[in-house]
Amino acid sequence: AAGMAAPTMEERKACWGARDEFWQCLDSHGDDAAKHIFSLFKQVKHFDKRRDFLKYKKKLETEGYRPPEAAGKS
């Protein structure tokens, strides 16, 4: 997203470490486990989108609709 700071070296190392642990887990449990985990991940993404929608809907109800400024105006 715009305005987000790049991750620090420590954050990148933590992320890579989590990735390595995840891959080791998949290697030790096989393809069926990987399919199950990715199925769960897709469900989580669905609920993330649902949560964002509900937050947006609540904002509209409390603040009202504010149209974005027209693109290209100066």
Structure tokens that stand for 14 in this block: 């933590």
**Joined tokens for residue 39:** 């199925």
Measured distance CA(33)–CA(25) in Å, rounded: 9
Tokens 């993404």 belong to which residue?
Answer: 45
- 54 domain-assigned: yes
Number of domains in the chain: 1
Is residue 38 a part of any domain in this protein?
A: yes
User: Could you tell me if residue 32 is inside a domain?
Assistant: yes
Rg (CA), the chain: 20
- Per-residue pLDDT tens, the chain, 74 aa: give them: 556 788 899 988 888 888 898 888 888 888 888 888 888 888 878 788 888 999 998 988 888 877 777 655 55
Which pLDDT value is given to residue 39? Answer: 83
Which domain covers residue 30, as residue numbers?
Answer: 17-63
